[in-house]
Each structure stands twice: as C-alpha cells, then as structure tokens.
Amino acid sequence: MQKPRVWNRTQIAEIYHQPLLELVYQAAQIHREFHKPSEVQVCTLQSIKTGGCAEDCGYCSQSVHHQASVERQKLLDVDKVLALAKEAKAGGSTRFCMGAAGREVRDDPDFERILEMVKGVSGMGLEVCCTLGMLEEEQAKKLKSAGLYAYNHNLDTGEKYYSKVTSTRSYQERLDTIDSVGKAGISLCCGGILGMGETVEDRIDLLYTLSSLSPAPESVPVNALVPIEGTPMADMGRVDIWDLVRMIATARICIPTAMVRLSAGRESLSDLEQAFCFMAGANSIFSGDKLLTTPGAGREEDLRVFTLLGLRPRQPYLGEKM
C-alpha cells in the first residue's frame, strides 16, 4: 500500500479539474488500494439536543436566527439514547453519532450526561462519535476517557467563504477545536457542505485545508446542502451531481485513508447518482429515516441500494463488550 502523500493547492486543483471519468477512475484505484471497495460503513445519526442554537450558520434549521419549524428538544436522557444506540446496532450500524445543537460544550450537568452516553454507547462495541460544537482540550480529554472514538467538527467550506456561511464564529475557532480533538487523541471527522453558493475555488481551499491537517481526518463527511425553509439558504438549488462526484473523488485521492462519508443530501440522489458517488470513493453513509432534523432515505431503501450495487455493510472491528 502506498503511503499517503502531501499535496499542494495547485496539485489538488489539477486533480479536481481532470476529465471527469479520468478523475473517477483514479479515485476508484486509490479506493481499492486503501479500502475494500464493496464495503460501506453504516452509521446512525442521532440528535440528542435539538434547536435553540445561538449561532447563525446559514444552512442550519437549528439556529434561533432563522425561522425553520424545528421543535426544540432539551438534552435527551441517557437511557433513551442508549436504547436508540441499541436499536441502531441491531439495525446494522457500526457507528453512532450524537449531535447537539449549540456553539460550544460547557462544563455543566449536560456535559456530564453526555459523558455517560458516550460511556454507554462505547460499551456496546459501537464506534461513538459526537458533534457538540466548540471544545476545549480538557473537555476533549474527558470525552476520550469516556470512550469517544471520533469527534465531528466540520470546516464546511474554504476559509475565504466561511464568513458568508456563519458570522458568529471564525474559521480559526473551528481549527482550534480540531486541534484540541487531535491533542486528546480522538480521531477527527471533518468535512463540508456543497451547494451553499461557494465557488470551485472555495471547495479546493477546503480540500487543501482538510488534506493538510495532521493527523489526517479519519472521516470526511461530504454533505450536499439540504435547503431548509426558513433558513437563508432555503432557495439554493440542488448541487450539481458532477460537482458532488468531483468533490468525493478528490477527497478520496488526497486523503486516501479517510472514510469518505456520503452524508446529507443522499436521500435526494437517484440510484445512478449514488452509484457514481460510491465509484468515486465514498465508503460510508448515514442510514435510517432521519438525519438530525431532516428526513433520511430510510433503512429499507438503503438496503435496496446496497443489494442493487452489490455493496455490503462493513462489519464492526471494535471489540464486542456487551
């Protein structure tokens, strides 16, 4: 297996702009070198605290600055979350990702409760991931001790476009949290969103930043914007499928060891479009009928696509503890 290499921005742009089929072919080759091409990791996403967020991320249904009709939900109970994780495991998921609305983690009883959730879910032999906003190194260490496997903290887009997406936090703050996650020895899940009005240059900037992170992200979610009524991005059209394929393929080539997760927006892709994304190196999905606040494709539908394309869910590799 080739060692992952370091790319400069020009090289990433050259990869991205290759003739499409050449790009997909190259990505498929790298995919086969670093991963089993028929295996897809199935993950479950669970919102553990919903809505009422003080940040103003333009795509998000959970911000108090927007008028999206999302019902607020305080932090769920530990037992409820553990029951949902058990269900997810029984349904074939090997990773359970808990998402909470909010700018940052605070040292309060809610955080203690989240630590309990992490302990419980990791005790089930599931990879446990959290996305809770900004995090200090000490908090990251506590999550690590509780058994956290990965932390999701997206850069969303390139640095230059970031202020058009969110005004209440900076790119540097995102990078600082990413740094704390790395220092605590937690693997990083970090990616972005396509279709927020950004240019190809912004996407290449994002890929360059992601591929330069050290350690490299273990997982790179590629989201296609789900336009949500009441948010400033409600009227953005659907992102071009070939842009999505190019992004996935370039991420696969430049960060070959990462799980490239075909995330939000998958539910509106046709079988053919999803097939192209898997061909281009996507090897993970969120399964089930709900993402955080928007509908998912549904487990039956996911299984149908897997059968159609000859894909199989990746087996858990973490030790069974329960």
Site string for ligand SAM, 207-246 (x = CB under 6 A): ----------------x-xx-x------------------
Residues marked active site are found at: 53, 57, 60, 97, 129, 189, 261
Do 16 and 254 contact (CB within 8 A), yes or no?
no
Query: Is there binding between residue 283 and ligand DTB (CB under 6 A)?
Result: no
Locate 235 and state its tokens.
Answer: 């009227």
Annotated binding residue 60: yes
Contacts of 270 by beta carbon, 8 Å cutoff, 6+ apart:
none
Q: Which of 42, 39, 41 is nearest to 287 (CA)?
A: 42
- Residue 67's φ and ψ, nearest 5 degrees, are -110, 35
- Which residue among 153, 203, 252, 314 contacts ligand SAM (CB under 6 A)? 153
State which amino acid sits at residue 194: L
Query: Is there binding between residue 48 and ligand SAM (CB under 6 A)?
Result: no
Query: Token pair 């607020």 is at which residue?
Result: 72
Q: Least CB distance from residue 228 to ligand SF4, whole Å?
A: 10
Q: Which of 166, 295, 169, 154 is nearest to 232 (CA)?
A: 166
Query: Is there binding between residue 260 and ligand SAM (CB under 6 A)?
Result: no
3-state secondary structure of 104: strand
Query: Is there binding between residue 193 and ligand SAM (CB under 6 A)?
Result: yes
Locate 58 and state its tokens.
Answer: 């333009």
Residue number with CB closer to ligand DTB (192 or 256): 192
Q: How far apart are CA 135 and CA 21, in angstroms?
A: 40
DSSP class of 164: H
Query: Is there binding between residue 247 and ligand SAM (CB under 6 A)?
Result: no
Locate 18 and state its tokens.
Answer: 């290759």
Q: Least CB distance from residue 310 to ligand SF4, whole Å?
A: 35
Do 186 and 148 contact (CB within 8 A), yes or no?
yes
Q: Least CB distance from residue 61 to ligand DTB, whole Å?
A: 5
Query: Token pair 């997760």 is at which residue?
Result: 261
Q: Which residues pair with 187 in a beta bridge?
A: 150
The interface region with ligand DTB, picked from 15-23, 82-90, 291-299, 301-309 by CB under 6 A, is 291-299
Query: Is there binding between residue 127 and ligand SF4 (CB under 6 A)?
Result: no
Residue number with CB closer to ligand SF4 (216 or 264): 264
Q: Least CB distance from residue 286 to ligand SAM, whole Å?
A: 10
Query: Is there binding between residue 313 and ligand SAM (CB under 6 A)?
Result: no
Do 49 and 101 contact (CB within 8 A), yes or no?
yes
Q: Where on the chain is the footprint of ligand SF4 (CB under 6 A)?
A: 53, 55, 57, 60, 62-63, 101, 103, 133
**Binding interface with ligand SAM (CB under 6 A):** 59-60, 99, 101-102, 131, 133, 153-154, 156, 193, 223, 225-226, 228, 264, 292
The binding site comprises: 53, 57, 60, 97, 129, 189, 261
